[in-house]
A and B are shown apart, each in its own frame.
Chain A
Amino acid sequence: GAGVSQSPSNKVTEKGKDVELRCDPISGHTALYWYRQSLGQGLEFLIYFQGNSAPDKSGLPSDRFSAERTGGSVSTLTIQRTQQEDSAVYLCASSGADGQPQHFGDGTRLSIL
C-alpha cells in the first residue's frame, strides 16, 4: 500500500511481558517517528530516526523502551516488562526529506492487563 503500515492493530498482553510493535513507512521516506497517545491525552513523542543519523531518543519514557530501524526502512518499537501505564495507542509516522508533513499509520492499540 501507499501509506504507513503498522502491526499488529491491537495487542493485549499481561503485565511483565515484552511486546514488539512494527512500522513500515511510506516507501522512500527517510524519516520515521514513533508517538504514543494515551486515552484522552495528546500525542507524546517517543523517538525519531533520520537516515543514518543517530536517532533522537529524547522522548522514550524509560529504559524499558527501545526502537530500531533496520535498513533505513522498517522500524520495531520494543517495550520490555510492560506495565499498565504503557497502555496506549502507539503511532508511527514517516516523512520525506522535502519538508512535507508527517503521515501517520493507523496505530497499534496496546492494552496491558
Chain B
Amino acid sequence: RKEVEQDPGPFNVPEGATVAFNCTYSNSASQSFFWYRQDCRKEPKLLMSVYSSGNEDGRFTAQLNRASQYISLLIRDSKLSDSATYLCVVRRGSTLGRLYFGRGTQLTVWP
C-alpha cells in the first residue's frame, strides 16, 4: 500500500465552482501534512501546511482527520489560475525528514 493515496482525477470545473480533493495516508506516525501545487513541467510549490484544527488561506481550506488518517483541500470560487496538479504530502517527523508524496490530483478550471 502506498504511503499517500490520492484520487488522480482529472477534475474539470467551471470558474467559480467549489472543488474538494481528498487524500489518505497509511502511516499513523505521520506528523506533518502539506498540500503542494505543481504546474505542468514545473517544480512543486508549497500551497499550505495542514494543521490539526484545520486552516484556511483565502479561498483554500485544509482539513486533517488523524483518526481516519485523511486530509482534504477545498478550493472555493475557482479561478483559471488554479489549474494545476495538487499534491498531498506527509512527513513522519514534525520537523525534518523525507516527504512522502501522493501522485497528485489534476485540476482544470475552464472559463
Contact = CB atoms under 8 A, between A and B. Distances in A.
Interface of A: 31, 33, 35, 41-43, 45, 48, 50, 56, 59, 91, 93, 95, 97-99, 101-107
Interface in B57-102: 87, 94-102
Nearest to B31: A99
12 contacts: A33-B98, A35-B99, A35-B101, A45-B99, A45-B100, A48-B97, A56-B97, A91-B44, A97-B96, A101-B46, A102-B46, A104-B45
B49 interface: yes
B95 A42 contact: no
Interface residues of B, number: 20
Given A43-B44, A91-B43, A107-B43, A101 B49 contact: yes
Interface string B17-52: 000000000000000101000000011111001000
Contacts of B96: 31, 50, 95, 97, 99
Nearest to A105: B43
Given A43-B44, A105-B43, A48 B98 contact: yes
Contacts, number: 49
B83 to A, nearest CB: 17
A50 B104 CA distance: 27
Contact of A101 (B34, B42, B100): B34
B49 A42 contact: no
B97 to A, nearest CB: 7
Nearest to B42: A106
A101 B32 CA distance: 9
A111 B55 CA distance: 40
B104 A42 contact: yes
B45 to A, nearest CB: 7
A103 B103 CA distance: 18
Contacts of B103: 41-42
A33 B45 contact: no
A95 B32 CA distance: 14
